[in-house]
């Protein structure tokens, strides 16, 4: 029986096209080839590391446009930044409260430990939106000034102990990332966007339990194949694969999907 696959982490990059529609059509052709049922999409193009309020709106508009013909296959996350809290809150009202999006994406503009994130997290919790924070531990010292490590996310999660959050990329250096978030049960991890290094998924399942591990790809910069390989190739029970490939994400999304009346 085919496993249901939901991909937590996709972008409109890595494919060509002048419009969101054109890019989305290309992306979905690969999604179909890989048997992926639904994807989560965030940020537009080109990527902006510290977006202005105007740029946040533009990128969210690109994602909204991309979703237009794909509401049955794709979910949108609202790109927000703690550098521009009021603008981010407005975007959340526009795209989530009054729009089709179901989550927020926090990238590298400001570290997750900063107090400025608190109003964004409060509002996301009110909306039942899924919260995704990019994180990396970079050995080579290459973190951007506002780029979070999993430790930053742990600080944020401890300030909001009832709000689930997702640790993007498992911190990249996953042997550190898994350990960093292990003691905070409200944090799940995203498998996306690192090399398909053997052992990642096994360690995550062993240390966190299969319920806290979520498949994502970081396509189109990454290939769906390399990231799915982390799950299909892992030496873990089939039941854990089922949870990782869709059910854990579905569980995190269920409150907002129910609130919006979205059946998925």
Chain contacts with another protein (rule: CB under 8 A): 14-15, 26-27, 30, 33-34, 136-140, 142, 172-175, 194-199, 202, 219-230, 232-235
Integer CA distances (angstroms), 47 to 86, 116, 157, 255, in order:
21, 22, 26, 30
Q: How far is the CB of 245 from another protein (least distance, A)?
A: 13
Q: Would you say 51 or 220 has its CB closer to another protein?
A: 220
Cα separation of the two ends of the chain: 19
Q: How near is the Cβ of 53 to another protein at its closest, in Å?
A: 30
Residue with tokens 């999993």: 150
CB nearer to another protein: give 209 or 221. 221
d(CA 244, CA 188): 11
Distances (CA, A) of 226 to 99, 135, 136: 32, 20, 19
Choose between 126 and 195: whose C-beta lies nearer to another protein: 195
CB of 142 to another protein, least distance (A): 6
Shortest distance in whole angstroms from residue 144 CB to another protein? 12
Q: 51 or 171: whose CB is closer to another protein? A: 171
| Cβ neighbours around 260 below 10 Å, total | 17
């Amino acid at each position: 029986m085919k496993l249901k696959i939901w991909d937590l982490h996709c972008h409109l990059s890595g494919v060509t096209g002048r419009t969101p529609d054109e890019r989305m059509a290309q992306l979905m052709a690969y999604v179909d080839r890989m048997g992926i049922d639904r994807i989560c999409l965030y940020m537009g193009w080109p990527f902006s590391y510290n977006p202005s309020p105007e740029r946040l709106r533009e990128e969210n508009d690109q994602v909204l446009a991309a979703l237009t013909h794909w509401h049955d296959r794709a979910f949108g996350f609202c790109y927000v930044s703690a550098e521009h809290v009021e603008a981010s809150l407005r975007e959340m009202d526009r795209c989530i409260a009054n729009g089709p999006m179901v989550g927020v994406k926090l990238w590298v503009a400001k570290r997750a430990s900063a107090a400025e994130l608190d109003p964004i997290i409060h509002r996301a919790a009110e909306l039942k939106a899924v919260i995704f924070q990019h994180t990396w531990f970079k050995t080579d010292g290459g973190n951007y000034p506002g780029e979070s490590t999993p430790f930053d996310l742990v600080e944020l999660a401890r300030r909001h102990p009832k709000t689930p959050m997702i640790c993007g990329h498992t911190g990249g250096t996953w042997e550190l990332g898994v350990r960093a978030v292990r003691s905070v049960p409200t944090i799940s991890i995203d498998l996306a966007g690192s090399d398909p290094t053997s052992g990642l998924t096994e360690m995550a399942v062993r240390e966190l339990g299969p319920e806290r591990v979520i498949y994502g790809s970081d396509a189109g910069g990454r290939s769906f194949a390399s990231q799915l390989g982390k799950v299909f190739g892992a030496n873990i029970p089939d039941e854990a694969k089922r949870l990782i490939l869709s059910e854990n994400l579905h569980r995190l999304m269920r409150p907002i999907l129910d609130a919006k009346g979205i059946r998925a």
